[in-house]
Chain A
Amino acid sequence: MSFMGAEMAYEEKSAWIMMLVTVGAYAAYLIIVLGRAEGIPLTDVSYVSALFWTIGVAIVANIVLHMVVAMAAPKDAGKTDQRDREINRFGEYAGQAFVIIGAVAALGMAMAELDHFWIANVIYLAFVLSAILASLAKIIAYCRGFRPS
């Protein structure tokens, strides 16, 4: 199995891109925010710009990598079929759990009047975990097999 190999469907490559970009962007965000936290409380750290920048860069990286993959195998570019759609639905359904957990956690934190820093970050983390779990579920379904039941 190779990342850019012809043995991988376009949508499987897409799931890999989503996972790698999400992990990379969130790791960059953590490095920036924790780097700024030296000597001051975490809640006083300026995180908004880092959050927007990492999301923006992730979106651009996602588009660029999809273009690279499409150029590497133009015949397969954008090709999806029934299996891809079923695996996509399965993955998104799996990932959705974290969005709900994040929303409930943020609701509880808002009611407990916690700092905005924690509320924003728990929502961001929930989106990241949701994207990672969805991508992982899709990748496993492509590699190990998928039988709708």
Chain B
Amino acid sequence: MKPTRVTNSIRALRFANGEMTQAELADRIGVTRQTIIAIEHGRYSPSLEMAFQIAQVFGASLDDVFQYPDPHTEK
């Protein structure tokens, strides 16, 4: 399977938000802990709705949580 170019800062944001556990984040957005693990490791690309839900939990914007390389800045 083609690797995703989307990266994320979920792990860092969890620690910055009172060391939130993967299980807590999973409960907040209504998914399994394994799905949070898969997203953190780039093994699952969440839907746009789930991405917004994750960003809302951290009170952050989508860009703060998920990053995508800008093709104009890449060689």
Contacts and interface: CB of A to CB of B under 8 A. Distances in A.
Interface stretch (B7-15, B42-50, B54-62, B67-75): B42-50
Contacts of A81: 30-32, 35
A147 B32 contact: no
A144 B32 contact: no
B1 A83 contact: no
B17 interface: no
A148 B45 contact: yes
A149 to B, nearest CB: 8
Interface residues of B, number: 19
Interface in A77-105: 79-84
Contact of A147 (B34, B45, B50): B45
Contact of A145 (B1, B31, B46, B47): B1
Contacts of B38: 83, 145-146
12 contacts: A81-B31, A81-B35, A82-B46, A82-B47, A82-B50, A83-B31, A145-B42, A145-B43, A145-B44, A146-B1, A146-B38, A147-B45
Interface of B: 1-4, 30-32, 34-35, 37-38, 41-47, 50
